A and B are shown apart, each in its own frame.
Chain A
Amino acid sequence: MTLAPGPESAWEITLVGYDDEHQRVHNALFALAAGGLGTSGGPLLVRATADRWIVCAGVYDGDGPETRLLTGPVLTGLAVADADECFHRRLDLRAGVLHERIDGTRPTEMLRFVSLARPGIVAVRTAFPDAVNRGTAQLSAVADGKVDEGETEGAVWMRVTGSEGGIVAAVCETRRENVVDDFAAVVGDSHARPEPDTALTMLSDAARAGFDVLRDEHEHAWSARWEAANVVIDGDDHLQLATRFALFHLMASTADIGEAAVGARGVSGTGYRGHVFWDADTFVLPFLAATHPASARAMLEYRLRRLPTAVEAARDLRRAGARFPWESARSGRDVTPHAARDRTGRLVPIRTGQLEEHVVAQVAWAACHYVDWTGDATFADGPGLTLLVETARYWASRVRTEGDGSVHIYGVIGPDEYHEPVDDSAFTNVIARWNLRHAADAVDAAERRGVAVAAEPSERHRWRAIAEGLVDGFDPATGIYEEFAGFHALEPLIIADVAPRRPIAADLLLGADRVANAQVIKQADVLMMHHLIPDEVAPGSLAPNLRHYEPRTAHGSSLSPAVHAALLARTRDYARALHALHITSRVDLDDMTGTTAEGLHVGTMGGLWQALVYGFAGVRPRAGRLRVDPRLPPDWGALEVNVQYRGVPVVVRLTHDQLSVRAAAPVDVEIGDATLTVGRGTSDFRAAESGWELVS
């Protein structure tokens, strides 16, 4: 049994044989999704013991911390043999099609997809060598929810209802000679029981169109998505495949209409109960803002629809504005569990829900980042501005001003969750400062455009004053930010020197108490500000902070190596940047957490894209222009990234001596110190001592 690149190595992963031990992992790796519908990649053609599942983004069951993704009815009855070494699976990332095959005396093939073109439609084609008495496709419930079912002419349906919403699926088939086409329509509703008629109508339309039409439109949709998002790495085939694997699942994970709740595992599994974390706003959204803005907008809509709940949460704490929760599900109330058993068997209190408040600013950052990429003025002057204002109001009510005029935020958890609670987390304070300033500037700008905003000049003045007074722990003498008040006084333990390897869960290696009292960091924290808000940190502070914090970082979070990869690339430390990049790319493919079986780490996948595009390619929006400032490792021949900037498809291709920017319409770009408008077509730049020189 091998999990390896397929014949078209950069676009396919294949699995030969059936590995009972790792079947749940493989079912996650081969998961198919689109439009918020996720389906297990478990075999249909052969009988297997692994659980299969269907989930719909945002459709939950239960309440409070126990809120979990509802699992819908699954398709059964299609298997024709037992799983053995003659069984093959191949995931075609370019077309979004999963192939299954049984070799031997009765070779049989199956292919299936979750339609990217028609959300909610699943199509399966099975081709037999000779007549096989295969039964009719059925639906089975695998969840605890209330189940009802029915049958109409030529189709059956089943509905699973959770505590509020539900999932209904309907199936039918068509047969001709040795080919059976099965169709399924799945409808999820987060707040009400979905009606079977809706699924039956979708099913009827799909069956009428037929498998070939569905497949054509599906593959056409995937082709368009790849054209807008592809990343080409010339010189590292394994990284190329891993990158495409990540982008495939990122694109599949998120709907682009209505609201999109992107849980920590997307819709590739039921892990983390489908709860939405800062991963979504910080790591996943940027990729979508740059390649498929409608999905990013749907993610923001998820937050916007829960803004009233966030306002209530702030009010409950006697604060102003909006306080978004650390873990969010259906209602938008915090659903973080209060205690859990850790890997040492201890019952530990979970305080992230109470204290990890930087998520409030991450939501504002996501909204601004979306606007930076898209230029969506309607959003910027409307709901986006509301998000900025309400989050700024929260910070303004959260800070405490001391007698000397200094402003502080006490008692929080920063991204480095090994230390809690801390005062004046540099990351929290700096991103709160960014939030306050950005909100004030955005309201000013909106007013100049004649947009009425309920934030008086006096309030904006106060925001700016608070921002000015917020301490950030920066020491101009060393160029280093202190991660939080008192961090430098902790035991000066360098995890890079004492750990047998990194990444490593240092709290398990050394014990939570030791780590809490030492300069050991779970994940990029100070460095996270250099990655997310580089214009908000002291100029020239990246290198000293990278030198200081990199060896102190255990990377106990799977989100961390990507951020370091991006920043190490910026400083041209290519060996270490590539090491971190490769770790990032293998988190799920190598099941590095032992939890991939319950879903893919979509935040890490988004981090991989950011490392490649923001870190190596140096492509990101800045001050109304698309900045291009690339770093190409010596071992790579070329790096090409495809993005959409302000609605214009842009391709940036970099080799060691040439930089090409191809745009479908004029785009303002910043290359090195020069700003220029790249016209429709390709502009080439030549590497020169002083930077990049325009050639044509």
Chain B
Amino acid sequence: MKTVLACIDNSAAARPVVELARAFAPLLDAQVEAVHVVEDEAGSDQAFASDVSFRTLRGDVVETLAHAIDTEDVAAVVLGARGRPKGARPAGHVALELADRSDAPVLVVPPDARVPNRVHRVLVALEGTAANAKSLKRTVDLAAGADIELVVLHVDDERSIPSFSDQVQHETDSYAREFLARYVPGAPQARLELRVGLPGEEILQAAEAVDPDVVVLGRRHHADRGPGPVVREVLEHSRRPVLLVAVA
């Protein structure tokens, strides 16, 4: 059976990581397994993972998890974001490196995230390109098939602002219907939120307004450049779990 790996440590982030893994696993028809990777002989506190299978792995965190993803039937990985008392936090090198090296979706949980028992609403940020939509199709289909409210977000920036906007009272609806038909054909109940501005900022603001359980972002593999600025910004500031999906 497929596994959702809940990657915990001895920090307070372990609880929401396991809880979100539990909420997420049924969507993927997977079971939850908590893993704690330790780089020395330290012990593991499994208090937050008492009702799921648990194992301790030893070695470099990224290498060990990447190896597990490569060699086991892993449907997704859930990680905690590093917490700071106030303001922004580092995006989390483990999450970013794993997302960079793996095709498995990586779900990053802020330490103060509200974690639902069940996923009710997701916000999927779509670029409005065929490749991006194709990469996120499985996520969209999963949401559509699981009775989850799907809100699609598309942000135009200076490069993609439309040439024309004739009569807003008709144009926005027409554009939205076509966007959804084109890029989210498997989810007829999906709703489109449109924004204009800097994508990172707009995704964060839309997340506040829409209040999803999970924010879904496509993430390209940049072997030498690391994560794109949008992914980094959202991971640094999001108060909600962020699911990173590899984009071709």
Binding site for B on A (CB under 8 A): 20-22, 24-25, 49, 65, 264, 271-273, 275, 277, 336-337, 339-345, 348, 350, 352, 500-501, 503-505, 507-509, 555-559, 587, 592-595, 597-598
Contact = CB atoms under 8 A, between A and B. Distances in A.
Contacts of A337: 169
23 contacts: A264-B167, A271-B170, A273-B170, A340-B173, A341-B172, A342-B172, A343-B165, A344-B195, A345-B206, A350-B169, A500-B159, A505-B163, A505-B164, A508-B156, A508-B196, A556-B163, A557-B166, A592-B163, A593-B162, A595-B174, A597-B178, A597-B181, A597-B182
Contacts of A500: 158-159
Interface string B173-187: 111011101110100
B42 interface: no
B149 interface: no
A264 B163 contact: no
B181 A594 contact: no
Contact of B166 (A22, A348, A509, A593): A593
Interface in B183-201: 183, 185, 193-197
Interface string B77-98: 0000000000000000000000
A342 B194 CA distance: 8
B112 interface: no
Given A504-B162, A508-B162, A593-B164, 17 more contacts: A24-B181, A273-B170, A275-B170, A339-B169, A343-B195, A344-B195, A345-B195, A352-B167, A504-B161, A557-B164, A592-B162, A594-B175, A595-B171, A595-B174, A595-B175, A595-B178, A597-B181
B164 A340 contact: no
A516 to B, nearest CB: 14
A300 B92 CA distance: 66
B36 to A, nearest CB: 42
A571 B67 CA distance: 70
Contact of A344 (B169, B171, B194, B209): B194
A333 B168 CA distance: 20
A22 B130 CA distance: 10
A503 B167 contact: no
Interface of B: 130, 156, 158-159, 161-175, 177-179, 181-183, 185, 193-197, 206, 209
9 smallest beta-carbon distances between A and B, as pairs? A505-B165, A340-B169, A595-B174, A503-B163, A597-B178, A337-B169, A272-B170, A558-B164, A598-B174
A595 B172 CA distance: 9
Contacts of A343: 156, 162, 165, 168, 172, 175, 194-196
A342 to B, nearest CB: 5
Contacts of A593: 162-164, 166, 171, 175
Contact of A340 (B158, B168, B182): B168
B159 A594 contact: no
Contacts of A65: 169
Contacts, number: 119
Contacts of B185: 20, 49
Given A21-B182, A24-B181, A348 B195 contact: no
A501 B160 CA distance: 11
B35 to A, nearest CB: 40
B174 A555 contact: no
B174 A272 contact: yes
Contacts of A507: 165
A598 B130 CA distance: 20
Contacts of B175: 343, 593-595
A482 B124 CA distance: 46
Q: Which of A275, A509, A587, A593 has the most CB of B within 10 A?
A: A593
A271 B182 contact: no
B133 to A, nearest CB: 8
B136 to A, nearest CB: 14
A345 B179 contact: no
Contacts of A556: 163-165
